[in-house]
Structure 1
Amino acid sequence: MSRARALVLGIAVSVVAAAWLVMTTDIEQVATQLARAQPLWLAPGLLVLGFQAWIRSARWASLIRTCLDIRIGIGRVIDAMLLGYFVNATMPGRLGEIARAVVVARREAVAFSGVAATVVLERAIDLMALVGLVAIALAATGSDWSVPFGALAIGIAVVVGLGRRATAFERLIPGRTPQRAADGLRSFLRSVAAIRLPVAAGAAALSAVAWLADAVMVLLVARALGIEIPVAAALAIGLGGAFGTALPAAPGYLATYELGAVTLGSFAGVPRETVLPLAILTHLIGVTVLAAAGAVALGRVSGLVRLDALNPRSAA
Structure 2
Amino acid sequence: MTKAEAPTHGSALARGLTLLLGLASSAGFLYLASRRITLSELERTLREAQLWPWLPLAVLCYLTGHLVRGLRCQRLVSGEARLSWITATHVVVLGYAVNNLLPARLGELARAGMLAERSGLPFVQGLSLTFLERVLDGVVMLGLLLLALATLPGVRPEWLEATIGLGAALFTTALGVVLAAVLAPSLILRWTSRLTQNVSARIHDAAVRQVDSALCGVAHLGQPGAALPILGLSVLTWLCEAGLFLCLLPALGMAPDPRVALLAMTVTNLGILVPSSPGFIGPFHYFCMQALAAVGVAEARGLSYAALVHVGFYVPITLWGLGILFGYGVQLSQAVRDQRRALPGGLFDGPLDAPGSQPDPESTPTLLALCDGLIPHGTEGDAARAEALPSAARFTAAQLSALPLRLRILFALGLGGFRVLTWLRFGRPLTRLTSAQRARWVGGFAYGRVGLFRQLMRAPRATAVLAYYEHPRLRAELLPGAPARPTERIISSESLTQGRVATERNSSESLTRDRGGQRD
Aligned match for 2:73, one of 29, 37, 60: 60
SS at match of 1:195: helix
Matched, 1:15 2:27: yes
Matching residue's letter, 2:57? P
SS at match of 2:278: coil
Aligned counterpart, 1:255: 282
SS at match of 1:40: coil
Matched, 1:155 2:172: yes
Distance 1:269 1:229 in 2: 15
Distance 2:98 2:196 in 1: 33
Matched, 1:295 2:307: no
Aligned match for 1:236, one of 263, 266, 285: 263
Q: Deviations over 1:95-129 (max 9, x none)?
A: 11111111111122221111221111111001100
- 5+ residue gaps, structure 2, are 1-10, 334-505, 510-520
Aligned match for 2:205, one of 179, 184, 187: 179
Aligned counterpart, 1:309: none
* CA gap 1:219/1:190 in 2 versus in 1, 3 angstroms: closer
* CA gap 1:165/1:267 in 2 versus in 1, 3 angstroms: farther
Deviation of 1:238 (Å)? 1.9
Deviation of 1:291 (Å)? 0.2
Distance 1:240 1:231 in 2: 14
Aligned counterpart, 2:234: 207
Moved more, 8-17 or 245-254: 245-254
TM-score with structure 2 setting the length: 0.54
Q: Deviations over 1:259-281 (max 9, x none)?
A: 22123333445443332211110
SS at match of 1:77: helix
- Contact 2:125/2:217 (CA < 8 Å) preserved in 1? yes
- Contact 1:91/1:251 (CA < 8 Å) preserved in 2? yes
Q: Highest relative contact order (Cα 8 Å, sep 6+), 1 or 2?
A: 1
Moved more, 103-112 or 137-146: 137-146
Matched, 1:6 2:18: yes
Aligned match for 1:38, one of 39, 50, 73: 50
Moved more, 135-144 or 193-202: 193-202
SS at match of 1:130: helix
Matching residue's letter, 2:278? P
- Contact 2:58/2:246 (CA < 8 Å) preserved in 1? no
Moved more, 282-291 or 69-78: 69-78
Aligned counterpart, 1:308: none
Deviation of 1:88 (Å)? 0.3
- Contact 1:214/1:238 (CA < 8 Å) preserved in 2? yes
* CA gap 1:162/1:182 in 2 versus in 1, 3 angstroms: closer
Distance 1:5 1:277 in 2: 31
Aligned match for 1:75, one of 72, 86, 92: 86
* CA gap 1:164/1:23 in 2 versus in 1, 3 angstroms: same
Aligned counterpart, 2:222: 196
Distance 1:13 1:295 in 2: 26
Deviation of 1:11 (Å)? 0.2
Matches within 5 A, 1:107-186: 107-142=118-153, 143-144=155-156, 149=164, 152=168, 155=172, 158=176, 160-165=178-183, 167=185, 168-170=187-189, 171-172=191-192, 173-175=195-197, 176=199, 177=203, 179-186=205-212
TM-score with structure 1 setting the length: 0.86
Matching residue's letter, 1:250? S
SS at match of 1:248: coil
Matching residue's letter, 1:244? G
- 5+ residue gaps, structure 1, are 306-314
Deviation of 1:304 (Å)? 4.3
Distance 1:280 1:29 in 2: 14
Matching residue's letter, 2:49? A
* CA gap 1:199/1:5 in 2 versus in 1, 3 angstroms: farther
Q: Deviations over 1:184-225 (max 9, x none)?
A: 122113433442273233222222222122332122222222
SS at match of 2:86: helix
- Contact 1:236/1:268 (CA < 8 Å) preserved in 2? no
Deviation of 1:159 (Å)? 5.0
